[in-house]
Structures are given as C-alpha cells and as structure tokens.
A and B are shown apart, each in its own frame.
Chain A
Amino acid sequence: MTEFRMPSLGADMEDGILVEQLVAAGDPVHRGDIIAAVETQKGAIEIEVFEDGFLDKWLVPLGTKVPVGTPIAVIRASDTPDVPQPADPTPTPAPPEAPQPVDPRMPDVPETPSVPPPELPPQTDRQRVSPAARRRAAQTGFDLGSLGAGKIISLADIPDSASKTAPMSDMRQAIAAAMTRSKREIPHYYLSDTVDLTKAEDFTATHNSNLPPDARLALGVLYIRAVALAAQKYTDFNGYFEDGTFTPSDAVHLGMAINLRSGGLVAPALHDATDGDLDALMTRLKDLVARVRQGRFRARELSDPTITLTSLGDRGVAGITGVIFPPQVAIVGIGTPSLQPAVIDGTVQPRRIAQITLAADHRVSDGHNGAKFLRAIIKNLQHPETL
C-alpha cells in the first residue's frame, strides 16, 4: 500500500484542490496513468501515478483543498493480495515515494486520520470542463459529476455562488511569488548578442514548401533544439539550484514560456528536447501548446523544466531579458526577428536578425562560460540541417 499524495508543482504551491477523480476505487492503475486533476494557482493540472497496481480508495472528497503532501488516495501494489487490510493500530509512515514531482521542501504529512471519501459516484468518464468552470466548481464545492459525461461544461453550467474571486489574480500571485523569489535569491547576470536567422528561415521554408499546414515546422522548434543541444554541452546552465547546491541535469527538459489569452503565462517542460527529429519535436510542441491553451497540463511538465526559453515570436519586440524561474539557473530570450542590413564578405546584405539574450545564475557560472553557451546556440542556428 502506498499513499498517493498531493504533489508540489513548484516552490510557490502550498495546497491544491482535488477536482477530478479519473479512476474509480478498485480499478487498476499503471505507472504514468493520469488518475486525478488538481486545481492550483496555475490552472487544472493532471496528476500521474508512479506505480502499477490498483486504486484502493480515495481519501479526499472532490472539491477539497488540502496542503501539499496530504495523502489523497491509496494505491495497492499489483502483487498485494486483494484482501481487506487488518486494522493496524500503528500505521507505518508511507515511505517517500520514489519519483515525486520535485520539491524537496515538501512539508511533513500531518498524522491526522484521512478524511473518509463521501459517497460520490466515481468519475470514470472524462468530461470536458473549461478551466473557468472547473475553478468555480472547486470554489463552490459543486459536483461536476452531477452534470454527467460526454458534454462540454462551461462556466454557465456551474451555479454561481456568493464567493467570487477574480480567477487570474491567482495566476498573478503565482508569477509574483516565483519572480520575487528569483530576484531575491538569484544573482542574475545578463549577456546579449544578435543571431542571424536567415538560414534557419530558409531551412523551414524549404522544408515546409510541399507539406500540408499541420506537418510544417515553426521557426521556434529550431530555437528549442538549438538551445537544448547547447544546454546539454554546457552543463552549468541546465539543472537545479537547491539547498545551496547546483545539480546539473543530464536530460534537457526545456521550459517553454507560453502566453495565456486569459492573462499570465506558464513555462511547462518539453521533455528531452534533444531527442527525436524536428518533426517529432514539432508535434510535441503543438501538443503541449494546445493543452496549455486549454488550461490542461501535467504535473511533471510544470515541475520538470531544467532551463527556460522565452521567444517573442514574430509580432513582438526586439528583445527580452528573462527572469530565471527558480530552481533553474538560466533563461534564454529570443526577440522578434527583423530584416536588417548586415555586412557579409564586405557587402551589405539584408538578413533576418534577432536579439538573443541569456540571464544566468552567478552562483553557478560566470559571463565567460555564459558567452560560450550563448555562442553555441547562435552557432547551432547557423546549421539548421544539423538540428
């Protein structure tokens, strides 16, 4: 038996609201299955289970806000006989679950008895619920299951109640908390240069010329790969600084700063951004962006980024100097490319140029190494065919 706990999805998260139980008690679960959704300041997050077995019972009713670390379900391992557990007067404390989404400062779990689950119908069929509707339901304790499955539930379907908070003030608070911590704790230094994107643009234009729209590459996917490959080589910029120690990461889980229409932004991870070809990376990027836009992403995606990339796209401004998202140690910014005169082999030519910046953590690296890292990204973008 293991207890499945409310995960921490970032240093700024203290509690979460269980808003969906996607597996009924008694059903089998497999490592990686999404078994619940939790409402946090950053929206509804899908929670994965980390072992194979059976979901024995839910410990927390839907709509309940509980602190990080609180057991929310009991998972019975596959090889545990399916017999009623004898009443155990001295419950053994649950061992630290192996791959919990990271936050080393998970508070101790209070030794209070678990709340018995209410007699709610298990929500096994997936509903499509808008983030605003989900938030209101969680705030008012409204049971989404009562609306049935198979329909799209919007804000209007959820009864209003007296308590109304502006939903995005939560998002703003989450951003403010993380960025305040960053500016207080991280001695940032900043480097900037320009990058000639003419070859990268030509590469995507040629690649895309005979492809249908949904198979085309975006320039951004080249940025991602170029940063990921450089981060894999220059390890001082890829990892976590926690408890006074920097731990580099072998894998590059690239946080993608994604703007939300409703306000605010999130930077979930594109896992293993060095792996697979560009088409596969593009598919994963589109999937991530689409889910983020629906207010729906996974716990690991929020907790995992090892470095962040913020790109202003092609309708933005010339440059951005990022603020590092703790416990990461670097953020790369790429501004909006524009056509500019450049001198090449003694002649002036129009080239597509963008500003590129690095904000990095002086506790881990210095400008000399930072410059090498930034130049590696620029160099990678001059050879798009190698990405």
Chain B
Amino acid sequence: MTNDPIRALLVKHLGRIAPEIPVDDIDRSADLREEFDIDSMDFMTLITALGKELSLPMPEADYDQMRSFDELLAYLRSQKV
C-alpha cells in the first residue's frame, strides 16, 4: 500500500491543496471534497494535476466516479491499467 505510486501521487496533490488535513484522518469512502474541504476550483486543480502526471484525460463525465478518496484512487488505477 505504501509503495503504491498512484496512491502516493494522489496523496501528494491533495496535500498541496489541503496541507492541514492528513489523509489518515479522513473517511476515505466519504465525499472527497467535503472531507478535504476543497471547492470546485481546488477540485479542478487536482484533476488537472493528476491528469497531467498520469497522462489521463479525466473527462468531466467521469467525475461521478471520483467522489470519494477510494473511488478516485480506484478510478485512476482502472485508467492506468
């Protein structure tokens, strides 16, 4: 788990946006934006950064599959297979 590069990447970019909220403290199955208190602009920044680093299109139509930390992580893994 700890040497999972995609998870590490997600944690890194969340940390840039919400440095005061440790990933270990959140409910990873709950709404990501509420857990990290990030607004739509922050979310856009996060999606942009993840898309660039992983070379993924991150279409808006898929945002429903990125609601929680766990969902977003699963989505990124499924796209990188």
Contacts and interface: CB of A to CB of B under 8 A. Distances in A.
A317 interface: no
A218 B59 contact: no
Contacts of B57: 212
A313 B40 contact: yes
Contact of A214 (B18, B34, B48, B59): B48
A315 B31 CA distance: 10
Nearest to B50: A213
B51 interface: yes
A216 B40 contact: no
A220 B39 CA distance: 11
Nearest to A314: B40
A317 B37 CA distance: 14
A382 interface: no
Interface residues of A, number: 19
Interface residues of B, number: 19
Given A261-B18, A313-B39, A216 B51 contact: no
Interface in A353-374: none
Interface in B1-53: 18, 20, 31, 33-34, 37, 39-41, 44-45, 47-48, 51
B64 interface: no
Contacts of B47: 213
A213 B51 contact: yes
The residue in A285, A289, A315 that gathers the most chain B C-beta atoms within 10 A of its C-beta is A315
A386 B52 CA distance: 32
A209 B58 contact: no
A263 to B, nearest CB: 11
- Which interface residue of B20, B31, B48 has the most chain A CB atoms within 10 A? B48
A314 B38 CA distance: 11
A99 B60 CA distance: 43
A315 B34 contact: yes
Given A208-B60, A213-B48, A315-B31, 4 more contacts: A218-B40, A220-B40, A315-B33, A315-B34
15 contacts: A205-B60, A205-B61, A209-B59, A209-B61, A212-B48, A212-B58, A213-B47, A216-B44, A218-B44, A220-B41, A259-B39, A261-B18, A286-B41, A289-B41, A313-B40
